Chains A and B, each alone.
With several copies, the nearest count.
Chain A
Amino acid sequence: MKWLFSHRLPVAEMTIDIRSEAFNPWTEIQSYQSAQLPAGKYGATASFIGTMRDFNEGDGVQAMTLEHYPGMTENYLTKICNEAMQRWDIIDCLIIHRVGKVEPNDPIVLTVVWSAHRGAAFDACRYLMEELKSRAPFWKKESLASGERWVEKNSPG
C-alpha cells in the first residue's frame, strides 16, 4: 500500500504529503515553489523543519519509527491547513511528514507557508506546527542501545 504513505492531496492552495522515504526539505520547497507559486506575488515564505536528533531525555537515540493512522492523519492535516487559511491571508502551504524508519539528522516534518506579508506567514507556519503536534495522529518509537520505547508526549512549543 505504498500509495497510502506517499500520495499528495492538493486541495486549493495546500499540499499534504506523507512520506515513507527520506526527503530533502530544501529541494522539496524549491521545486514546490517553482511549480506552484505565482512569481512576484508572494513576499513572505516562512518554513519550519523538524529534524531527528541523536539524543532525547538524556539518552542516545539510534533510530526512530514513525507510525500514523492512514486517512485520519491526512484529514487532520487538511483541517489544520484549512483553519490556517481561514485565519490568515496566505497564498499556499505545504506540509511533508515522514513515517517509517527515521535516522538521526533525517528531516521528520516540514511546514511552509507563502503569503504576501510576513506576519501571516510566520503566524500560520507556527500554527501548522503546533496543531500538527497536538492533533495529527503520528506516534514515535525510539530505538536506544537498551531497547525500544514509545515517546509518551510531545514537548510544548
Chain B
Amino acid sequence: MTISVRFFASLRELVGSSEASLEPTDPLTVQQVWSNTCTIAMPDNTLCAINMEYVDLSQAVKDGDEVAFFPPVTGG
C-alpha cells in the first residue's frame, strides 16, 4: 500500500521535510508511520490527522491515506 505523509510548521522544520511517502507491506498505525519515516522521536505534543481529520496515534492507516503530523495549532 501507499501512504503519503505530511509535516507542518515546526515539525516540518524539525523533520527537515514537508512530505514523505511510504509503501509498507504490513498494516501500520499512525505512530508507526512516524517511526518508519523519521529518524527523530515524535515530540510529545504532536497532533496527527488522517485524510484531514484528527486521529489518535493508535489509529490504523489504510492504502492511499494522507497522514499529517503537526504541532499544537496557533491560529486566530
How many Å lie between the Cα of A68 and that of B72 in the bound state? 12
> Nearest residue in A to B47 (C-beta to C-beta)?
A137
Residues of A at the B interface (CB closer than 8 Å) are 50, 66-69, 71-73, 75, 97, 108-109, 118, 129, 132-141, 150-154
Query: In the complex the two chains form, is A69's CB within 8 Å of B71's CB?
Result: no
State whether the Cβ of B74 lies closer than 8 Å to any Cβ in chain A: yes
For the complex, give the distance between the alpha carbons of A75 and B72 in Å.
17
Q: Is A75 a contact partner of B52 (Cβ separation < 8 A)? A: yes
Q: How far is the CB of A20 from chain B (nearest CB, A)?
A: 14
Could you say which interface size class chain B belongs to?
10 to 19
A-B contact count (CB 8 A): 74
A139 touches B52 (CB 8 A): no
**Chain A interface mostly helix, strand, loop or mixed?**
mixed
Q: Which residues of B contact A (CB under 8 A)?
A: 6, 8-10, 49, 52-54, 68, 70-76
Query: Would you call B76 and A132 a contact (CB within 8 A)?
Result: yes
Assembly CA distance A16 to B6 (angstroms) = 23
A133 in complex: contacting residue of B49, B53, B76, CB < 8 Å:
B76
Alpha-carbon distance A141/B70, docked complex (angstroms): 14
The contact of A153 among B54, B68, B70, B72, by CB within 8 Å, is B72
Residues of B within 8 A of A132 (CB): 75-76
> Is there an interface contact between B9 and A141, defined as CB atoms closer than 8 Å?
yes
A152 and B11 CA atoms in complex are apart in Å by 12
Judging by beta carbons under 8 Å apart, are A136 and B73 in contact? Answer: yes
Kindly provide the distance from the CB of B17 to the nearest chain A CB, expressed in whole angstroms: 15
